[in-house]
Structure 1
Amino acid sequence: MIPKELSRSTMADPELHEDVNSLILDYLVCLAIEQTLSAADDIRDPIKAEEADWLVQSLKAFGSLPASTSTSSLAADLNIKREILWVADAVRRYKHEPRQGRDSESAQLAKVGLRFMNLCLAAVPKVSESRWLDVGAQFLHQAAIHDKIKTSDDSDAIKRLQEWNCINPGRNKRWFQMCQAYGYGGNASQPESSRRFPLAQFKNTVMRFMLDLMTVLDPPVLIELERGKLGNLSRDETRQLLERAARFFSLNPSPSPPREGKGPCAFVVRLSRDPFYALYQYQASEPIRQFPPLARLGHCRRRKLSSIKIDPQIKTETRKLNPTDGGRKSPPYLPYPTHGKASALLMDLEARPIPYHQRTTRD
């Protein structure tokens, strides 16, 4: 999952570096998913669209990195989340323009449908099969409607989606029946089908499915550490775990003398106070050029979001409303707030272009 040059780091072995990279990427992907769902829910708000576009474009820096081959639950969830982001972003951006060529919009929607089906297949234990196949059939139906406006023949992508199958014969049969239920291949006219199954309604259905799928995936570890509760551990157990780790590193220092404030012990203490900064600082203790995607994030042009506060007791999102949004408060789109210290730090990168390893340690 990480470039080869990262494995030559003197800070830790490659597996530990991959874990650190996965923790950071997991947080960023979840933040991008939330912004994408928020922008899709309010398509008339250009600011939300800008925020979602910026995050998605930034994460494309990771596009050349293959999915993690680790068998850990973190890696499995992260691979699923990356696919969720890809599908949700593609559906949000989709606009039917019948005057374009045949391979522009409808074929693209069919390809999104194929990615959606394979995503659900990878997340089988966590999705409802009937709902999954229903949404997949809607992908096929919508792609067929818009493709017929441009050409009388099915595109190759639509054909592959129609013929999608897996090793489960029963599921394949139900998929065929679901496609028939939506009238695929029937004689219904395009205007009639468009009225019965409007594109906007289809988009909302997909976004609701993605949101529900996110609720059964593990929240980012950085979010859990910010909230003081890691996994099934209680708050006291989480605090004790970090304290034990800090004591261990204080008794087993690094072979090479660490710079002030950046040794393993300081890293663990920092992790308990400000997880995202700690991991970013840990990664940047080697030359920042060794992790170009994160370095690139620090130089992206970014409009600052309105200030955000997290109440440590109730752990719910509270925003200072932008005067231009009519006083309406946007609800959180994930079952956990992604706008804590970590995102505030991420959003502040443009104002602080100095690499993290050149800054003084925060208290």
Structure 2
Amino acid sequence: MIEWIIGAALLAGGLFGTGKTKRPDTSPAPGPRQDFPAKVTEWRSLWEPTVDRSRWIPKSMASRIVARFPPPQRPFSWSGGDRFEQELLTEFAAHNVAYLAQQKERLKPFFDTVERNPLTDDQMDGCICMDDAVQIVAAAGSGKTSTMVARVGYALHEGLVKPDQILVLAFNRAVAEELQSRINARLAGLDGVDAVTVKTFNAFGLSVIGKATGRKPSLAEWAEPGRDGTMIVEIIDDLRSSDDKFRHDWDLFRTVFGRDIGSWNEPAQANAYRDGRRGILTANGEIVKSEEERMIADWLFYHGVRYEYERPYEHDTATEHHRQYRPDFFYPEIDLYHEHFALDEKGQAPAHFGGDYLGGVH
């Protein structure tokens, strides 16, 4: 917009001026636009030595650079450091993608042998990514323990930290002991691996308190295995009586989400029979085919959402070989059908399903 205003002013001068011809001065006059690239170059020279491009660059580096080295103000712009920070995030993300590929190729022998089986791509990502905080979401049996062992090994192999700077935490003693055993066995060739600390959350907390106060505390009696259930129930009851939101969330969890829906590849165990139909009973009194459908129906019921289960589709689809289509849920207030398919993440149906289920899905 500012360029348009300047151009319009020059044009107006030519149209309504004195009529005298004056050759324009074509020599570039120094101004904010000409100076800005030089200022950016100078700014980058200040912070560039603080970035180690031979390693993973954490996301927080962008905000730290902008805070420590205020960037130059863009001409005719009201955007401050936020835009510079976003550009740095993009630049560092591109570096990390290239670095990830480089490390996978360079350290393939390490990742192939650090555990009994070669690490997968996702597991290698979990080892190499050294951001400020890394969350890895994985299913049971998918190799979380192997990833933790390999991540410790990667950090030591690459000299990123000293062994006594590594703390590995587990929820229970059995897992902590397994981690300790596998770290000692699989990383035996790395110097100082014995100094890596592996503990449960409880044991680590007690050790910190003991070191800070000089007196290691005892666990509360109710925290001992086998006695914690009663206290947890009391805590929940206290919260339900004092916090309306907690009571709502807890009751929803207890009645809907906290109920076991079974395994995807195993037939559902019927718990009700009505009007010639055997299946799973919902909170609204219907009989549905699976625990997954029961969870959906119960969620709708407890949230006051009107629905009809397996109402016949509004168009006639019955043929010589196929019955009338009945979508799982219909929401009359918004005229919407909702079909729940029993497919896994690969789009496959359980083996015990008979007929052409995938054909029906399509």
TM normalised by structure 1 equals 0.24
Whichever of the two has the greater Rg, that structure is 2
Q: Which has the higher helix share?
A: 1
Q: Which has the higher contact order (CA 8 A, sep 6+)?
A: 1
TM normalised by structure 2 equals 0.24
Q: Which has the higher strand share?
A: 2
